[in-house]
Amino acid sequence: MSSQENKGAANSPFYTPAQDPPAGTALDPASAPTLFQPLRVRGLELHNRFVVSPMCQYSADDGHLTDWHFAHLAQFMIRGAALTIVEATAVTPNGRITPQDSGLWQDSQTAPLKRIVDFAHSQGQKIGIQLAHAGRKASTVAPWLVPKGHTSAVASKEHGGWEDNVWAPSAIKYAEGYATPKEMSRDDIAAFVQAWKDATRRSVEAGVDCIEIHGAHGYLLTEFLSPLSNQRTDKYGGSFENRTRLLFQTIEAVRSVIPESMPLFLRISATEWMEHESSPSWTIEDSIRLAKLLPAAGVDLLDVSSGANSANQKINLHRYYQVNLAGQIREKLQKDGLKLLIGAVGMISNAEMARSIVQEGKDASAEGTGAATHDTVEVAEESGQVTQADLVLVARQLLREPGFPLRVAHQLGVEVKWPNQYHRGGWSRNAKI
């Protein structure tokens, strides 16, 4: 009988049972909180609002993904996250953070990425990739190799480094433990933009569902945005328009080689946390100004992180320190009627926090008090807090608990699909976990 057929996943290059619907899908989405309702981004539909944030593994072989990356990413794909984003992937060899970073600067690096993409799709899940260039933070060693008492160390040529070819907008060293960069020439900038187009083309050939541009955390695009690291006097330095020029050229380059239906994400550091110093820096006001320009440029979602472009940053650290930034940007965009989805990231580790960040239909009467007024762990739906983001990007909690989306569903009382092969592993309805 047909009901006894263990059907294989459609269009998969190998046999695996079809997951219909995919793991993590609410069985009654209409009654589920927003966290477990679908979200459409251009031609991409996500079955819930959980995204696996890019996580550097420093484990690639000359830029090629390995079985480690397959095992690392597959554990999230089978446990309910709607979208998994492959770690920061360098568009040029000197754009790697370490010699063991993932890359897409040559065609041979496409096949191992495609293997992971094929697996994601076989599970009914979506997969993206974060493309990046590390700028002046390149050519360092993996973090577990840093000597005790230091925060970083330069990778020598003996160990695959390139400390004499580290790019930056200006020849300003980030901190001790990093190479002294050279200021990029106009030819370097042209090569950089072309490298983004080439890496994007390879990503599309591998079958990814979306692209994320890494413009955060003190890497090259951040360095151009910030007046702390960008002291150029040409058309790429000085004014806000000049400092954002390379970012918009990169967006244009990526958008030119991806399908119209493919979403484009951008991650930024919403503030450098340098307001305590007198020198100009990149602030939340700059990020709001930038965000308002992104929809017209072809960006569909802004992934809001912060910091990491100055060793002198001072972060007001609490559980919502980055979520609040996302909320502020989202509020300003909505006031201007601009359509740009927002992703929140950072310290998202419990069910109530994840739910409250994206919950729609809240009482917006608190608008004007600002999303930055709370810093508690739990925010009740009825508290008047406005929605702060459209999806949540999770990293460290998934390292601790790959089944986080499934556990959150249980704690929120949402019945979701488990992977067929794990169907006996679900908690009983009233189990306390």
pLDDT tens digits for 185-204?
Answer: 999 999 999 999 999 999 99
The yes-or-no verdict on residue 159 having pLDDT over 60 is: yes
Distance (Å, rounded) from C-alpha 21 to C-alpha 34?
Answer: 18
For range 307-332, the mean pLDDT: 97
The pLDDT, as a whole number, for residue 1 is 45
Active site residues: 219
Instruction: Determine which of 9-18, 132-141, 229-238, 378-387 has the lowest per-residue pLDDT on average.
Output: 378-387
- Report the percent of the chain where pLDDT is more than 90: 92
DSSP 3-state assignment of 352?
helix
Average pLDDT (240-245) is 98
| Furthest C-alpha separation in the chain | 75
150 has pLDDT over 90 = yes
| Rounded-to-integer distance, Cα 58 and Cα 102, Å | 8
Parse the chain into domains and list their residue ranges: 34-423
Q: Confidence band (pLDDT; 50, 70, 90) for 386?
A: confident
DSSP run (H or E) holding 372 = none
Q: Is the pLDDT of residue 377 over 70?
A: no
pLDDT classification of 183: cutoffs 50, 70, 90: very high
Res 381: pLDDT: 33
Q: Note the pLDDT of residue 2.
A: 60
Residues whose CB is less than 8 angstroms from the CB of residue 30 and which lie 6 or more positions away in sequence, other chains included: none
Closest among 261, 240, 239, 263 to 251, alpha carbons compared: 263
User: Is residue 375 scored above 50 in pLDDT?
Assistant: no
State residue 361's pLDDT score: 83
Q: How far apart are CA 379 and CA 367, in angstroms?
A: 15
Q: Whole-model pTM? A: 0.95
Give the tokens for residue 430: 């009233």
Average predicted confidence (pLDDT) for the chain:
94
pLDDT band of residue 368 (cuts 50, 70, 90) is: very low
Mean pLDDT of 146-153: 96
Over range 395-409, report the average pLDDT: 98
CATH superfamily of 34-423: Aldolase class I (3.20.20.70)
Q: What is the mean pLDDT of residues 69-88?
A: 98
Q: In this predicted model, what pLDDT tens digit does every residue of 265-275 receive, in sequence order?
A: 999 999 999 99
For the packed helices 186-206 and 110-122, what is the interaxial angle rounded to 10 degrees? 40
Q: pLDDT-derived band of residue 379, with 50, 70 and 90 as boundaries? A: very low
Question: Whole-angstrom Cα distance, residue 264 to residue 19?
Answer: 26
pLDDT of residue 3: 77
Quickly tell me which residue has 């944030």 as its tokens: 53
Average pLDDT score over residue span 336-347: 98
| 403 to 27, 80, 113, 209, 407: CA distances (angstroms) | 18, 7, 23, 22, 6
Please determine, for residue 86, whether its predicted confidence score (pLDDT) is greater than 90.
Answer: yes
Q: How confident is the model at residue 372 (pLDDT cuts 50, 70, 90)?
A: very low
Residues contacting 184, CB < 8 A, separation 6+: 167, 168, 169, 192
Residue 37 contacts residue 391 (beta carbons within 8 Å): no
Q: Are strands 44-46 and 39-41 parallel, antiparallel or unpaired?
A: antiparallel
Ramachandran class of 247: left when φ > 0, alpha when ψ lies in -120 to 50, beta otherwise: alpha
Return the exposure string of 312-342: e unless at least 16 CB atoms fall within 10 Å of the residue's CB, then b.
ebeeeeebbbbbbbbbbbbbbbbeeeeebbb
